[in-house]
C-alpha cells in the first residue's frame, strides 16, 4: 500500500457554525423621513429585484403591477416595516420622501449574517457570503439550502443554514452605507490590499486544495476577474478573490493567474423614470409638506424640496358627484414602481392662499 500513487485525501473540514442573524424593531414612521439623521434609526435593508406591485397602504390587496415589473435589478433600499407578504421601503424620488409597500416576491433572498458556505456533505469550503448578499436558491439537503451568490463574473455556491436566509436583514455599522436615493450607476472596489494582484483567466476553476483532482468551489465566467496571491508553491497558486457579495479562497494553476497592474473595477446600474400629465392643476408644494395616502388618511411621506406638482386642487369624489372638503388637494409623485397619487391638506382659512400642513418638527420639540 505504501507504493500506491495518487494525491492524499483532502482533510475533512468541520461544518461552519450557523451564524446568528441580528434582529431589531421597526421604529420609524413616514412622517419622520425628512428628520436629520433618520437613516441612523433605520437598520433594516432589502434588495429589490424587480419593480412590480406597490401599495400606499398595507391593507390593500389588489395586485397593482406596472410596465416596469420586468428585469433583474439589485437595488438597496431602507425598510421601515414588513408583513408576511409585503415589505415597506423608504426612498427619495421626484422631490419627495415616500414609503410604499412592495411585494416580498419582488425582492431577493439574501444572507442575513456573514457566512462561510459548506459543500453538500456539510464540510466548510473556501467560499464566504457577506451580510446582505443576494442569492438564488437551490436544493435543500440535510437541513441546509444550496445558494448561488449573485455575480456576473464568477460562479460560486454552497450550502447554508435556513436560519441565515431572509428578504429583510439588519445592517451592521461596518456594512456599506445606504441612501434614500437610487443612483443611476454605482461602482465597487475591495478594501486596500498590498498583496500581489492577479488576473484570473476566464473559465478557470478554483479548486478546494492544491491537488489536481480537488473539487472546484468556484468558476470564473469573464475576462475581468482579479484576485490576490496568498501563497505560491511550485505550479500551484493559492489565491483569494474578493467580490461585492462575498469572497473565494482556493487554488489554481500558475498559468491561470498572471500578475497584473489592473485595478479592480465593477460598474452596476440604477433606475430612472419620468411622467407627464395633461388637464391637471399645477400645485406648488413646499418642503416638509405631509403627504397622505387618502383624504383624512395616514401620512406616507414628506415633500423633500419645493416643486410644482401635477394634481387636482379640489378632489372630486365620483361616488357623491361633489368635491371633497376644500382643504384637501391631490398631487402625483413619480416612482420606479408607479405614479403615486397622494393628498395634501391646507391648514389656512383662505383657499386662495393655501398653507399646506407640514411634517417638519418645530425647533425645540
pLDDT of 293-334, one tens digit each?
Answer: 999 999 999 999 999 999 988 776 656 656 667 789 999 999
pLDDT of 162-175, one tens digit each?
Answer: 999 999 999 998 88
In 10 A of CB 88, how many CB atoms? 24
User: Which pLDDT score, from 0 to 100, does residue 242 have?
Assistant: 97
Residues carrying CATH 2.30.30.40, the chain? 187-267
Nearest-angstrom CA–CA distance, 141 and 157: 14
Nearest-angstrom CA–CA distance, 349 and 343: 18
CATH topology (fold) of 111-164? SH3 type barrels. (2.30.30)
Distances in Å between the alpha carbon of 258 and those of 82, 242, 265? 47, 16, 17
3-state class (DSSP) for residue 48:
strand
Residue 83 pLDDT > 90, yes or no? yes
Top-tier CATH class for 30-109? mainly beta
Contacts of 79 (CB under 8 A, 6+ apart): 26, 42, 44, 45, 46, 87, 88, 89, 90, 168
Contacts of 272 (CB under 8 A, 6+ apart): 184
Contacts of 365 (CB under 8 A, 6+ apart): none
Find the largest Cα–Cα distance for the chain: 100
- Confidence tier at 43 by pLDDT (50, 70, 90): very high
Top-tier CATH class for 187-267? mainly beta
Q: Please give the residue that has the higher pLDDT: either 72 or 245.
A: 245
- Confidence tier at 2 by pLDDT (50, 70, 90): very low
Nearest-angstrom CA–CA distance, 303 and 320: 30
Nearest to 207 by CA among 242, 245, 236: 236
Contacts of 166 (CB under 8 A, 6+ apart): 21, 109, 110, 112
3-state class (DSSP) for residue 290:
strand
In 10 A of CB 81, how many CB atoms? 18
Nearest to 105 by CA among 35, 46, 180, 186: 46
pLDDT of 88-131, one tens digit each?
Answer: 999 999 999 999 999 999 999 999 999 999 999 999 999 999 99
Indicate the average pLDDT of the chain: 88
Amino acid at each position: 500500500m505504501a507504493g500506491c500513487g495518487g494525491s492524499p485525501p483532502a482533510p475533512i473540514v468541520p461544518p461552519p457554525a450557523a451564524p446568528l442573524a441580528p434582529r431589531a424593531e421597526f421604529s420609524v414612521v413616514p412622517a419622520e423621513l425628512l428628520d436629520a439623521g433618520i437613516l441612523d434609526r433605520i437598520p433594516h435593508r432589502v434588495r429589490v429585484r424587480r419593480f412590480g406591485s406597490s401599495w400606499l397602504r398595507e391593507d390593500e390587496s389588489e395586485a397593482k403591477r406596472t410596465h416596469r415589473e420586468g428585469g433583474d435589478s439589485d437595488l438597496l433600499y431602507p425598510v421601515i416595516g414588513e408583513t408576511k407578504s409585503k415589505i415597506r421601503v423608504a426612498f427619495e424620488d421626484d422631490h419627495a420622501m415616500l414609503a410604499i409597500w412592495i411585494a416580498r416576491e419582488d425582492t431577493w433572498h439574501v444572507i442575513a449574517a456573514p457566512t462561510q458556505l459548506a459543500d453538500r456533505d456539510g464540510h466548510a469550503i473556501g467560499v464566504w457570503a457577506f451580510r446582505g448578499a443576494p442569492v438564488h436558491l437551490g436544493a435543500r439537503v440535510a437541513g441546509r439550502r444550496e445558494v448561488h451568490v449573485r455575480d456576473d463574473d464568477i460562479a460560486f455556491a454552497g450550502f447554508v443554514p435556513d436560519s441565515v436566509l431572509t428578504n429583510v436583514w439588519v445592517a451592521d455599522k461596518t456594512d456599506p452605507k445606504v441612501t434614500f436615493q437610487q443612483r443611476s450607476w454605482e461602482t465597487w472596489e475591495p478594501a486596500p490590499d498590498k498583496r500581489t494582484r492577479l488576473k484570473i483567466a476566464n473559465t478557470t476553476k478554483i479548486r478546494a486544495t492544491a491537488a489536481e483532482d480537488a473539487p472546484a468551489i468556484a468558476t470564473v465566467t469573464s475576462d475581468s476577474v482579479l484576485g490576490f496571491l496568498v501563497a505560491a508553491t511550485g505550479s500551484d497558486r493559492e489565491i483569494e478573490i474578493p467580490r461585492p457579495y462575498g469572497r473565494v479562497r482556493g487554488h489554481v494553476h500558475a498559468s491561470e493567474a498572471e500578475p497584473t497592474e489592473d485595478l479592480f473595477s465593477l460598474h452596476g446600474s440604477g433606475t430612472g423614470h419620468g411622467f407627464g400629465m395633461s388637464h391637471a392643476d399645477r400645485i406648488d408644494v413646499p418642503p416638509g409638506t405631509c403627504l397622505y395616502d387618502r383624504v383624512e388618511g395616514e401620512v406616507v411621506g414628506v415633500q423633500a424640496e419645493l416643486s410644482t406638482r401635477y394634481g387636482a386642487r379640489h378632489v372630486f369624489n365620483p361616488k357623491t358627484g361633489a368635491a371633497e372638503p376644500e382643504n384637501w388637494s391631490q398631487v402625483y409623485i413619480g416612482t420606479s414602481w408607479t405614479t403615486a397619487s397622494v393628498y395634501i391638506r391646507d391648514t389656512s382659512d383662505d383657499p386662495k392662499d393655501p398653507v399646506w400642513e407640514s411634517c417638519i418638527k418645530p425647533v425645540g420639540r
